[in-house]
Amino acid sequence: MAHDESDRLLSLLSEGRDEFIARWVSTVTSTLAGRITPAEVQQDLTDLYGALIVALRDGGLATRNEAYGEVRSLLTELSRSRARQGFSPTETAFGVFALKEVLEPALSRSEDIAAYLQFARVLDDLGLYTVETHAKTREEIISAQAEQLLELSTPVVKLWDGIVGVPLVGTLDSARTQVVMEKLLQSLLDQNATHAIVDITGVPSVDTQVAQHLLKTVVAARMMGAECTISGIRPQIAQTIVALGIEFGDITTKATLADALRHALRRIEQREAAAGIGGLA
């Protein structure tokens, strides 16, 4: 029974091939409203139609069958590129569902309708698959962007020979602290730096948690053998810090990056002077 239906379906699809594709393409193109060229749609859908016929011949109506591998990979590619171009899930899935609409006028006999109902189920399955792939692609794009943002927002700059600076912008959470710490420590090593300046001018507010993260960063830099200064503390933030009772201990803090840089340069000068004496002795 099922065999008859898929055979019937196959002959129906093969006979009307060119006509169906043309109508399918025009239906889909009209909904995508000029954001993608008809030639591209034509190419995509012709490939898909061909693969669908092959899959129906080899695998029948079971969409989980291996024969549908080609169809699935084509759909994956289609949904991915649609998601990247900013099409909505509805628009993407409609590309598949439109084939139903196209087939409807061609159904004349009752066997055709039975076959069509079976085929509709196949198309539903494939449509859902495109939605799923579309959503997955969007998630991938979002997480990639979040990662890029994290990278972008934490540069480590060389301020002078042996001095590196970290201008922090935005709130500090534990994930960012981790990234900042990692990059700072690595650049201390790479640049052979003895001083690090963490500038918090761009940090909108400092609460106990942010202070805790800052302290961690400073302590880690110290353990690597570098002196660490915190700069860019605005008047309001200084007041908040004192009001909250946050203790920075023996960590040097400065109002501006310039002050911190001057401090670091002076320390380096002192060291070099001392080393000079040591070298002579």
Partner 1 sequence: MTDRVPILKIGDVLLVSIQIDLEDQMVMDLQEDLSQRIVDTGAHGVVIDISALEIVDSFVGRMLATIAAISRVLGAETVVVGMRPAVAMTLVELGLSLGGVRTALNLEQGIGELRRSRDEGPVRR
Give the interface segment with partner 1, choosing from 37-45, 134-142, 143-151, 186-194 (CB under 8 A). 186-194
Contact between 148 and partner 1 (CB under 8 A)? no
The contact pattern for partner 1, residues 30-69, with x = CB under 8 A and - = no contact, is: ----------------------------------------
Among 9, 41, 102, 226, binds partner 1 (CB under 8 A): 226
Distance CA 227, CA 166 (A): 14
User: What is the arrangement of strands in the sheet containing 157-160, beginning at the earlier edge strand?
Assistant: 157-160, 163-169, 195-202, 227-231, 252-253
Residue 163 and residue 271 in contact, taking contact as beta carbons nearer than 8 Å: no
Nearer to partner 1, 78 or 220 (CB): 220
**Of 181, 119, 120, 107, the residue nearest 150 (C-alpha):** 181
Nearer to partner 1, 72 or 183 (CB): 183
Which 245-274 positions form the footprint of partner 1 (CB under 8 A)?
Answer: 271, 274
Give the interface segment with partner 1, choosing from 67-75, 99-107, 144-152, 217-225 (CB under 8 A). 217-225
Nearer to partner 1, 263 or 271 (CB): 271
Residue 165 and residue 257 in contact, taking contact as beta carbons nearer than 8 Å: yes
Contact between 189 and partner 1 (CB under 8 A)? yes
- Least distance from C-beta 274 to partner 1, angstroms? 4
Contact between 182 and partner 1 (CB under 8 A)? yes
Give the interface segment with partner 1, choosing from 37-45, 116-124, 150-158, 222-230 (CB under 8 A). 222-230
Residue 126 and residue 78 in contact, taking contact as beta carbons nearer than 8 Å: no
Residue type, 253: T
Give the interface segment with partner 1, choosing from 45-53, 63-71, 215-223, 250-258 (CB under 8 A). 215-223
**Of 198, 266, 209, 206, the residue nearest 232 (C-alpha):** 198
Using CB under 8 A, list all residues that contact partner 1. 178, 181-182, 185-186, 188-189, 192-194, 216, 219-226, 271, 274-275, 277-279, 281
